[in-house]
């Protein structure tokens, strides 16, 4: 089986803070450091979405990249770009917006529409800075 | 005169919004678009500081890069990193935190301490995203 | 005068070849090397457009970056992206599509609409590969 | 077993189009979008070749990177650089030159000479733009 | 199990040469090429450290990135940065400092302190140049 | 005059140290910090060479980039790549190999052969790391 993995990058800019209301300011500062600043900070996020499949004999495609881009923009970028991850995003309500938690949510959002478009979501990579990023494989074995 | 230009990159992550209190929400949205989101958004900023001078015969240096880095971190990065540019930074109070306005303020902050360290500030470059950035030469002729 | 320089990056992918009809294949090969391949080759081009001005006290902007992006996309990207620079672009007809010639043409195209949007085109940078690129200042003194 | 994976990057610039002769122009445009432009477009391709193995006690090498680079240049870069992927490359004849199909062909070309040089091809990554790329593991389990 | 992989980049600059004392200069030159230059050469190394785990419900973290960075700096960067890999590093004594051998050693150094900090080292990536790099998974199955 | 500036990137890897024989080890350490490590350290250097001129009507070129690349490789890269800047390079003998001093020397080396090839050297940029680099305009006004 000639399974190929295709990757599409999209990006968004957002504000957030790491802060627990049930902790004191001191405890938040101790655990989350600068990320606990009460007035927020922000990042340019890069999101890499990997879809796997066997290229179609008819088109040479695993998935139409234009359609993949459209799904990511509609379901992820539009909901996160120029937003506050703690305040503005219904599906993140009540969640600490660490990159770890964020990437799991993005997987849950993208898995079904990508499947409906004929693809199989295989991996996500979410870069918060050039030094810090996370990868997620939906709980499956990584690659 | 063998004038050389040396550049040091530093970076910081911050939240901001473009918003005028004396405008309606509609007017803010019309002029500033997504950047007017009331709950903020944010960026990873890259700051490039250029100092010019003739290399010392004794050290081969225009300026000690360790000292230049120390100045930028102390006077700029410490005051902006993981901050809200609208709320947390005394020297930006009352200013629309566009990258244009921000780079002018950073010049005003860095010019004197760099001069005191024996250097001459020649250029700043402030990258907000990989697609948008500004450069400033202190009002002097650019290069 | 607090003149700031703001830069917007856009990109396009195009095919071209360097070939003179009035030369033999051998002469074309000798002068243009691999770039003379008769069946074309191509590149991912990055275009950086620099506009200068004094930030508005009202908006903090030199020029609205959304508007600048719209102009570049409408007048340059739409006419060059996924095109053949030798065959598909009326304003390049009869011109050897070297990056040098291309950047001069892009300047001629962008200068007026940027001025009409209240900006002053100051510099272009056109990257053909990570190793080869050109800069142009409209014949004015460079910076 | 201390298996290490070593990666070598090479690059090439090429023209192509996505176009089926047995389809109408409208159908080609509908499925392939801008990539169906009849006069071609092009890209700067980055190819990353991963070879796995246990470092030699004698040399500290899995494979001599100079030799790996020589193989990739001889068998892939020389055949694709400054070429038209639809017209100029015998081993791509009759194939839709999508990145998916291209990466499978490159695997078939490199697997044997790398094995003859004592290495084991483990992964390919082919970048078409900074936003679009593919990875291939030869049909084996990915990593 | 919602296992996420988090990556931290650190970097160091070092000198080295590939040279065996028990070989002639000619043999060293033949096998190691330019890397055998007797007076050394050097690189900017980028090290990417991947730790896997399930995000904590309390903090949203797999591992505190500040702590991960502190471990990498203390145990790797401090011992390698601005050093000679052949002469200055006790744990590399007697080893050919190829990137392959170096990445295995870095794994041995980081595995225990990362485990003690509650993480599980999953992957290393060591970039010697933008064209040459290695990855290591501790002998486990790669991803 | 339609003067265009064309840039070619080349790179080399080298070892060096900042050290004055007429100073004590303590003084060297105090002034040059980690860069004074007696057993050397090293970098991947990126060199950007800018040549200015008016595009030829015949070829569309300011200068043949293949010829420019050949000159830089012959006169700079071959003399610095995989070398020790303190020990192996006759034209650097007796000079503190700071990037400031190095870029001035590279200018002196390239100016004449580029002129003989019909070009005019306008600017050099030498990157030592992604955070530290220098630019030089031959003593002329910068841009």
Domain assignment of residue A142, yes or no = no
Whether chain A has a CB inside 8 Å of the CB on E77: the answer is: no
Residue B116, phi then psi, degrees to nearest 5: -65, -25
Residues from chain F that touch E83, judged by Cβ atoms under 8 A, are 37, 39, 41
Domain assignment of residue F142, yes or no = no
Query: CB B60 to CB F101 under 8 A?
Result: yes
Q: What is the domain range of residue D127?
A: 4-136
| Whole-Å CA distances, E75 to B108, E9, E87, E114, E117 | 40, 14, 18, 11, 14
CB E128 within 8 A of CB E47: no
**Span A42-70, pLDDT tens digits:** 999 999 999 999 999 999 999 999 999 99
Residue B35 annotated as catalytic: yes
Domain assignment of residue F35, yes or no = yes
Nearest CA in chain E to D65: E132
pLDDT computed for residue C141 by the predictor: 66
pLDDT computed for residue A23 by the predictor: 97
User: What is the torsional sign of CA D97, D98, D103, D108?
Assistant: negative
How close, in Å, is residue B17 to chain F by CA atoms? Answer: 28
Mean pLDDT over D33-45 rounds to 97
Residue B39, phi then psi, degrees to nearest 5: -95, 20
pLDDT computed for residue C143 by the predictor: 65
User: What DSSP state is assigned to residue F17?
Assistant: -
The answer, yes or no, to whether B and E have at least 3 beta-carbon pairs within 8 Å is no
Q: Of B31, B96, B133, which is closest to C7 when you measure between CB atoms?
A: B133
Residues from chain C that touch D41, judged by Cβ atoms under 8 A, are 13-15, 42, 81-84
CATH number at residue E65: 3.30.479.10
| Ranges under pLDDT 50 in chain F | none
10-residue mean pLDDT profile of chain C (143 residues): values are 95 98 97 97 98 96 97 98 98 97 98 97 97 94 68
- Mean pLDDT of chain E, nearest integer: 96
Residues from chain D that touch E98, judged by Cβ atoms under 8 A, are 55, 59-61
Cβ within 8 Å of residue A26, ≥6 positions away: none
Q: Is the pLDDT of residue E140 over 80?
A: no
pLDDT computed for residue A55 by the predictor: 96
Residue C134, phi then psi, degrees to nearest 5: -130, 155
Domain assignment of residue A141, yes or no = no
**Span F109-133, pLDDT tens digits:** 999 999 999 999 999 999 999 999 9
Measured CA to CA, the distance from residue B84 to residue A36 in angstroms comes to 12
Q: Of F20, F104, F141, which is closest to B4 when you measure between CB atoms?
A: F104
Domain assignment of residue D142, yes or no = no
Q: Which one of F10, F67, F128, F135 is the catalytic residue?
A: F128
Domain assignment of residue C96, yes or no = yes
Mean pLDDT over A1-29 rounds to 97
Which of B14, B63, C48, E79 has its CA nearest to residue A17? B14
Can you name the residues that pair with E122 across neighbouring β-strands?
none
SS3 content of chain E, % helix, strand, coil (to 5): 35, 30, 35
Q: Of D20, D32, D136, which is closest to A4 when you measure between CB atoms?
A: D136
| Whole-Å CA distances, B93 to B24, B102, C3, F10, F15 | 20, 11, 21, 45, 47
**Span B38-64, pLDDT tens digits:** 999 999 999 999 999 999 999 999 999
**Span B66-120, pLDDT tens digits:** 999 999 999 999 999 999 999 999 999 999 999 999 999 999 999 999 999 999 9
Mean pLDDT over E30-42 rounds to 97
Nearest CA in chain E to D51: E134
Q: Is the pLDDT of residue B142 over 90?
A: no
Q: Of B6, B9, B50, which is closest to F100 when you measure between CB atoms?
A: B6
**Span C106-118, pLDDT tens digits:** 999 999 999 999 9
Strands B120-127 and B132-136, by their bridges, are antiparallel
With H, G, I as helix, E, B as strand and everything else as coil, classify residue F89: coil
Q: Is the pLDDT of residue E40 over 80?
A: yes
Mean pLDDT over A10-38 rounds to 97
Q: Is the pLDDT of residue D143 over 80?
A: no
Which of F44, F45, F52 has its CA nearest to residue F7? F52
Which of E5, E72, B38 has its CA nearest to residue A125? E5
Q: What is the pTM (predicted TM-score) of this model? A: 0.97
CB B44 within 8 A of CB B11: yes
Q: How many domains, in total, are found in chain E?
A: 1
The answer, yes or no, to whether D and F have at least 3 beta-carbon pairs within 8 Å is no
Whether chain F has a CB inside 8 Å of the CB on C99: the answer is: yes
pLDDT computed for residue A9 by the predictor: 98
How close, in Å, is residue A3 to chain B by CA atoms? Answer: 32
Query: CB B7 to CB F133 under 8 A?
Result: yes
Measured CA to CA, the distance from residue B74 to residue B80 in angstroms comes to 10
Measured CA to CA, the distance from residue E77 to residue E13 in angstroms comes to 9
Query: CB F42 to CB E16 under 8 A?
Result: yes
Domain assignment of residue F45, yes or no = yes
Whether chain E has a CB inside 8 Å of the CB on A67: the answer is: no
With H, G, I as helix, E, B as strand and everything else as coil, classify residue D124: strand
**Span D64-86, pLDDT tens digits:** 999 999 999 999 999 999 999 99
Mean pLDDT over D130-137 rounds to 97
Domain assignment of residue C112, yes or no = yes
Cβ within 8 Å of residue A62, ≥6 positions away: A4, A6, A51, A52, A53, A54, A55, A56, A119, D100
CB A124 within 8 A of CB E125: no
pLDDT computed for residue B139 by the predictor: 85
Measured CA to CA, the distance from residue F123 to residue F140 in angstroms comes to 9
CA B130 from centroid of its chain's CA atoms: 16
CB A77 within 8 A of CB E37: no
Rg of chain B over CA atoms, in angstroms? 17
How close, in Å, is residue F103 to chain B by CA atoms? Answer: 8
Mean pLDDT over E123-137 rounds to 98
Mean pLDDT over D94-101 rounds to 97
Residues 18-37 of D with CB under 8 A from C: 34-35, 37
Residue A10, phi then psi, degrees to nearest 5: -130, 170
How close, in Å, is residue D65 to chain A by CA atoms? Answer: 24
Measured CA to CA, the distance from residue C106 to residue C76 in angstroms comes to 7
Query: CB E31 to CB D59 under 8 A?
Result: yes
Q: Of D6, D9, D59, which is closest to E134 when you measure between CB atoms?
A: D6
User: What DSSP state is assigned to residue E36?
Assistant: G
Which of F36, F40, F49, F96 has its CA nearest to residue F77? F49
């Amino acid at each position: 089986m000639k399974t190929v993995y295709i990757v599409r990058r999209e990006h968004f800019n957002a504000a957030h803070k790491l802060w627990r209301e049930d902790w004191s300011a001191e405890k938040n500062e101790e655990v989350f450091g600068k990320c606990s600043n009460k007035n927020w900070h922000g990042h340019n996020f890069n999101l890499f979405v990997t879809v796997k499949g066997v290229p179609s004999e008819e088109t040479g495609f695993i998935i139409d990249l234009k359609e993949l881009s459209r799904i990511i923009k509609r379901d992820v970028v539009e909901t996160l770009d120029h937003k506050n991850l703690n305040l503005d995003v219904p599906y993140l309500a009540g969640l600490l917006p660490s990159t770890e938690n964020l990437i799991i949510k993005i997987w849950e959002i993208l898995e079904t529409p990508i499947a409906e478009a004929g693809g199989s979501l295989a991996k996500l990579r979410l870069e918060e800075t050039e030094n810090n990023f996370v990868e997620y494989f939906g709980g499956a074995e990584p690659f």
